[in-house]
Amino acid sequence: MMDEAVPSPVQSPLIAEKANAAVRHGFFTREGGVSTGIYAGLNVGLGSSDVRESVEENRARVSRWFGVPAGNLATVHQVHSPTVHIIEGPYDGRRPEADALVTSTPGIVLGVLSADCGPVLFVDAEAGVVGAAHAGWKGALTGVLENTIRAMETLGARRERIAAALGPSISRRHYEVGPEFVERFIGTQPGYEKFFGRSTREGHAMFDLPALTIERLTDAGVTAENLDLCTYPDEDRFFSYRRTTHRQEPDYGRQISAIMIQK
């Protein structure tokens, strides 16, 4: 018989306060899923090599946590872009290439997948608009967070009312990058040296993706919260692309962060 464990997501105090009962959200962990092996737990990555039926069941469990059918869970084909997909009306099941979603339609769960990159959930409860963004370094640098806010504004949100929370993401302590990364990054945005700390390896640096994410959000005029959950060391709760790479494992799972306007 299939394990009937229930997913137990982490929630943002900020979003919970701002949204009250109008919005349901969760930063899901590995807990409560049916996948096994290197994907053990709640792997929702359709792009992984996990058993497809297990991934579908895991996604269905996320939907059930929100109290909606599996077909109401909207995700996109993430490509580390600044592109935002707006869902107006019923969800048609498409997964276009994009890295963020927004909607004002109740009952649609917006989900973004991650395994070190930063998942960010947004809400303007007064306007009845929510958003979800997948922000790795490239997406954050090229504007996925700001574009999500602008897309929410097209549906009636106001940025001074928007609350945003950053979920499980790799921290500076575990995110070492090479000199080419640092040069390219600073060359694109002078003044961003502050996001790099000293590494024990010559020529390398430790990159603070969460700090970059929160600064981009607050500079855009929204209230932001970092849940301070690092994916890399917490193997029991989170998948991590970098941890998998260091172990030379063939693949990795993805956790989901999701938000929905209540019907």
Distance (Å, whole) CA 154 – CA 129: 10
Cα 226 off chain centre by: 12
Domains and CATH numbers, the chain: 13-171+208-261 (3.60.140.10)
pLDDT value of position 4: 64
pLDDT value of position 252: 97
Nearest CA to 75 out of 262, 253, 259, 242 is that of: 259
pLDDT value of position 189: 85
Nearest CA to 25 out of 119, 117, 92, 114 is that of: 119
pLDDT value of position 128: 97
Distance (Å, whole) CA 233 – CA 172: 12
pLDDT value of position 1: 36
Distance (Å, whole) CA 103 – CA 41: 29
Whether pTM exceeds 0.85: yes
pLDDT value of position 153: 98
pLDDT value of position 98: 98
- State which residues of the chain have pLDDT below 50: 1
Nearest CA to 152 out of 219, 220, 205, 51 is that of: 220
